[in-house]
């Protein structure tokens, strides 16, 4: 299974704030096959963006910094604040930066994890404020990571 251009375009549209386009592209994806690949793409992007933000020279940020980021994200985007469960969001980030064991998030439903990752990922990218070249490089990198994951 490969990561498709449409899956990348859907994620790119989401992260660039083109939400209607994101929804339209998602509706065109083949649900059975694309769900796994798109989830892998979102997970790779979330992994990379979270590590960029919360790891410094291999050292994870304090829990308080993660909690503050989540609270600030919920505060500044009131339309989605209720869609971000603070406990789940914290656990997803802490897992990525190596502060929780492999089974720490086993009880989180896949659709909840995906939605939370997408919302947090958008905030992480917004905060990083990458140039177009940096964003293109990020998207290319996470596509390669996701392709390895689904093979």
Query: How many C-beta atoms lie closer than 10 Å to residue 94's C-beta?
Result: 20
The answer to whether the beta carbons of residues 119 and 86 sit under 8 Å apart is no
Quote the percentage of the chain above a pLDDT of 90. 78
Q: Shortest CA distance to 54 belongs to which of 65, 41, 67?
A: 65
Domain that holds residue 73: 5-150
The widest CA-to-CA distance across the chain, in whole angstroms, is 41
pTM: 0.93
Per-residue confidence band for 5, with pLDDT thresholds at 50, 70 and 90: very high
At residue 30, the pLDDT reads 72
Helical residues (DSSP H) of the chain, grouped into ranges: 5-15, 19-28, 31-54, 63-76, 86-96, 110-128, 132-150
Mean pLDDT across the chain: 93
Q: Shortest CA distance to 47 belongs to which of 117, 104, 103?
A: 117
- Cβ burial, residue 103 (10 Å; 0-12/13-18/19+): exposed
- Cβ burial, residue 88 (10 Å; 0-12/13-18/19+): buried
Per-residue confidence band for 72, with pLDDT thresholds at 50, 70 and 90: very high
Count of structural domains within the chain = 1
Structure confidence by residue, pLDDT tens digits, 19-36: 899 999 988 887 766 788
> Which is more confidently placed, 28 or 40?
40
Mean pLDDT value across residues 101-122: 91
């Amino acid at each position: 299974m490969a990561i498709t251009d449409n899956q990348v375009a859907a994620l790119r549209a989401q992260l660039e704030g083109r939400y209607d386009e994101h929804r339209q592209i998602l509706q065109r994806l083949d649900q059975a096959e694309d769900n796994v690949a798109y989830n892998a793409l979102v997970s790779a992007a979330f992994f990379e963006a979270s590590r960029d933000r919360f790891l410094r020279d291999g050292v994870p940020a304090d829990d308080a910094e993660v909690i503050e980021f989540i609270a600030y994200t919920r505060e500044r985007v009131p339309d989605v604040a209720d869609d971000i469960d603070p406990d789940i969001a914290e656990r997803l980030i802490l897992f990525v930066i190596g502060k929780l064991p492999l089974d720490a998030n086993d009880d989180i439903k896949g659709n909840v994890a995906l939605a939370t990752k997408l919302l947090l990922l958008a905030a992480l990218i917004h905060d990083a404020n990458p140039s177009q070249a940096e964003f293109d490089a990020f998207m290319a990198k996470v596509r390669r990571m996701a392709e390895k994951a689904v093979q």
